[in-house]
Amino acid sequence: MAVPTEVLWERDPHTAAKHTLLRRYLSAWFPIMAKQFRDTGITFFDGFAGPGEYTNAQESSPAIAMEQALRSEVSRWGTRTRLVFVEKHRGRAEHLTNLLDARFPITSRPSGLVMRVHPGRCSDLFGQTIAEVDGWDGPVFANLDGWGVDTDYEIVQRIARQQSSEVLVTFEDQFFIRFANGEQQAGERVFGHSDWRRVDRLPTAEKKPFLLGLYREGLHSAGFVYVLTFEMIDEGGHSLHLFFGTTNKVAVEKFKDGLWEVDGVSGQKFRDPRDPNQMSFDIQNPNFTPLESRILDLLGRRDHNMAELREDALLETIYKKTHVKRVVDKLIGQSRVDKMSTGPSHADRVFRLADPKLF
């Protein structure tokens, strides 16, 4: 999609799916964090906030964040809750301010909720706008949904240094592939170094995996222990990548729960960029072949218990932990995997790759 120039524009299927995912994750994030961080407060930061609505939809990330922050499950804790929105287009920032004030009147907001809209560039304002509301005292969730090449690496670095903080970043690999041999400096800002330009010397099939792997490494280096990445594909075959960075394993699980509920809302399909076969599927009718291959590969190296297989699926694939049992049961039924021991816990159930059989 071309970058719009007007105040409002039409919401595309990718954005609709992202909004569904964001709502489902924030419905868990706000109440959990409000309860846990009553002493320091919590902050939702949107670095590319937009006008708050579209020509064909009233939903937006700022509106979703406000709705979730105002729920009784959040406000009951009395936690100072900060929502900071930055938008470089002044007309959109003004539209957003008016929309939020009209839809969520100040008189309806709890005393501990602070909302600010700032016109300007995210890279210029993120630090001071969060500081102005004492946001650096506690955890920050940063929604960095620019046009795929707008999120400076220094932003994710700073968020990563903040205890219990998280980022959701939109990433556009095709931009970097096109401009690797030019004077474009966006890559240096996004990756934090010039190594990304090596993509220009790689075969076409290796370009995307290289860029995605490099950015994933960058998020790990910044301080995010767990990084979830996935590709969204709309009905027209257009793809977009999202990266979720966190230091909390439970957050990965909650975020993935939201992901697996997105499909069917706006015709999205998904695939794991690390799957060499680049298989895409409807999440409502998933294809578990990549997970089968992953489990067989792990068992081909050594025996694993169910806890280890579930952990690997959570952190290293697009699948959920709950998907593992059905795949293992299928492989056992096909005599491709043997159960070596059983017991009440996942750690007690050990599996081994079955010996090959001729018949």
Summarised one tens digit per residue, pLDDT across range 50-65 is 999 999 999 999 999 9
Summarised one tens digit per residue, pLDDT across range 122-152 is 999 999 999 999 999 999 999 999 877 889 9
Cα 150 to Cα 68: distance, rounded to the nearest angstrom: 26
Mean pLDDT score, 341-350:
96
User: What does the pLDDT read at residue 281?
Assistant: 61
Fold of 289-353: Arc Repressor Mutant, subunit A (1.10.10)
Cα 220 to Cα 182: distance, rounded to the nearest angstrom: 27
181 versus 217: which is more confidently predicted? 217
User: What does the pLDDT read at residue 202?
Assistant: 95
Please tell me the class of the 13-271 domain. Answer: alpha beta
Sorted by where each begins, the domain ranges of the chain are 13-271, 289-353
Share of the chain above pLDDT 90, in %: 74
User: What does the pLDDT read at residue 61?
Assistant: 98
User: What does the pLDDT read at residue 260?
Assistant: 84
Residue 284's pLDDT band (cuts 50, 70, 90) = low
